[in-house]
Structure 1
Amino acid sequence: MYVERPSRLPGAVVWRNTPAGAGAGRVLPDGCMDLLWHGDRLLVAGPDTRAYATDGAPGGWTGVRFGPGTAPALLGVPAHELRDRRVALADLWPAAEVRRLTALVRAAAAPAGALDELALRLAADAPPPDPLLGHLVTALDAGRPVAATAGELGLGARQLHRRSLAAFGYGPKTLARVLRLQRALRLARQGVPFAETAARTGFADQAHLSRDVKELAGVPLRRLLG
């Protein structure tokens, strides 16, 4: 069972997932990065460019999902270095610090609350989010073209791509694709017909939507929603 709630850190979400049974799962690209707790370990989930297949390991997962572009400043690691990866926090930070944080989460009444508190501490010690990147996410999530958005932000294509790699793990065109996929899935899960979903979320047609879902999620749209 999967449940989530807003984090005390603006723009983030705290979540728990306790699989009902054994078997691999599927995590879809969403432009975000997560701080994870699983098997008595702290891990970091980097930004995905395609569906990430979980290994079906027993036990529950708990995490804080940071909004697109916000995690690298908190974790001190450019997003592109973690693209399509799940890594132990001990591989990124000093071992002594990770042991201390692991002990705090282990001793907490609820790992979700401990991770939420950790996210707040990280944000307090990090520089404020880049408002330009926030505007970029808002514009692309609204379906604005990448080139037009870059012009509105006063950035050249190369500069925007470089900053996007560090913040999101990939360029703005991939980010726009991922955000469009999530918009389409939200509508489709509400029962909106696929052809209307495609039209409302910026796809050329239903076939275009189907191709993108298959490429990014790894399975056809009907199976994904099934």
Structure 2
Amino acid sequence: MNPTGYREYRTPGLACSWTAALPPGAEPFVQRVVPDGCVDVMWSAGGILVAGPDTGPMPSLVRPGDEVVAVRFGPGAAPPVLGVPADAIRDARLPLRELWGADADRLAEGVAAAGDRRGALVAAVRERVRPVDPLVAAVVAGLGRSTVRDVADGLGLGERQLRRRSLAAFGYGPKTLQRVLRFQRALGLARAGEPLAAVAYAAGYADQAHFAHEVRDLAGEPVRNLI
């Protein structure tokens, strides 16, 4: 069980918002963050960090007394808000001030002073949210059911064009994005209690061994440790 009390909230316009806190006196906890194609903007007492799209497991140390409130952007939604292409922040954890300057410091101060810190962060970020580019949304939908070549053909793009657009929008090329989306789809089914053999088939893996290999490659540990 995760001792940080991590909790997600449905948040229109975003993938979700979330909170986590480790009580004073508790043991430090290392949270393993696995690839999901998303970008998080996270407030804590130390300021606001941006967590870019990951390509592998990222350990995150949570210390006693830490409190985090955050918003999560779905695949392709963050670059227009942050003002940088997603591949510029891939596998990165960087202060928001590097992207927003003094606006980030003002936001951090406002969230710290708010009675509802999650609500304050959500409200401020929503002011910058823009509709996702239809082409970006079509790539995400297409890669869930088709090959990269078929998605490129369906969008009238060459594979090199699709790769360039994907790197800017998602931080990944389309093949990597497809792997990450399939992994997350499988993880959701496994956490819902589906047998792992059925999960592998439903998510589109060649077999359960292929599924196990992909999970270890992306998450660094067996799927049973993630359920």
Same fold at TM > 0.5: yes
Q: 2:191 aligns with which of 189, 192, 204?
A: 189
Matched residues in 2 for 1:213 and 1:12: separation?
A: 22
Cα deviation digits, residues 163-211 of structure 1 (max 9, x gap): 1111100101101000000111111112211111111111000000000
Matched residues in 2 for 1:11 and 1:86: separation?
A: 20
8 Å Cα contact 2:22-2:63 kept in structure 1: no
Residue aligning to 2:18: 15
**C-alpha displacement of 1:39:** 2.2
Q: Is structure 2 residue 35 aligned with structure 1 residue 29? A: yes
Q: Is structure 2 residue 73 aligned with structure 1 residue 73? A: no
Matched residues in 2 for 1:135 and 1:206: separation?
A: 29
Structure 2 residue matching 1:37: 3-state secondary structure: strand
Structure 1, unaligned runs of 5 or more: none
Residue aligning to 1:2: 6
Q: Which runs of 4+ in 1 moved over 4 A?
A: none
Matched residues in 1 for 2:183 and 2:103: separation?
A: 37
Matched residues in 1 for 2:62 and 2:41: separation?
A: 19
Matched residues in 2 for 1:12 and 1:81: separation?
A: 21
Structure 2, unaligned runs of 5 or more: none
8 Å Cα contact 1:24-1:54 kept in structure 2: yes
- Aligned residue pairs, count: 219
**C-alpha displacement of 1:19:** 3.9
**C-alpha displacement of 1:115:** 1.1
Q: Which amino acid aligns with 2:122?
A: D
Query: Structure 1 residues 11 and 97 mapped into 2: Cα distance closer, same or farther (>3 Å)?
Result: closer
What is the root-mean-square deviation of aligned Cα atoms in Å? 1.4
TM-score (norm 2): 0.92
Residue aligning to 2:104: 98
**C-alpha displacement of 1:66:** 0.6
Matched residues in 2 for 1:11 and 1:64: separation?
A: 7
Residue aligning to 1:162: 164
**C-alpha displacement of 1:55:** 2.1
Q: Which amino acid aligns with 1:61?
A: V
Residue aligning to 1:119: 125
**C-alpha displacement of 1:25:** 0.8
Q: Is structure 2 residue 132 aligned with structure 1 residue 129? A: yes
Q: Is structure 2 residue 198 aligned with structure 1 residue 203? A: no
8 Å Cα contact 1:40-1:106 kept in structure 2: no
Q: Which amino acid aligns with 2:204?
A: G
Structure with greater helix percent:
1
Residue aligning to 1:84: 91
Q: Which amino acid aligns with 2:205?
A: F
Q: Is structure 2 residue 224 aligned with structure 1 residue 218? A: no
Q: Is structure 2 residue 59 aligned with structure 1 residue 53? A: yes
8 Å Cα contact 1:105-1:111 kept in structure 2: yes
8 Å Cα contact 2:14-2:71 kept in structure 1: no
Residue aligning to 1:64: 71
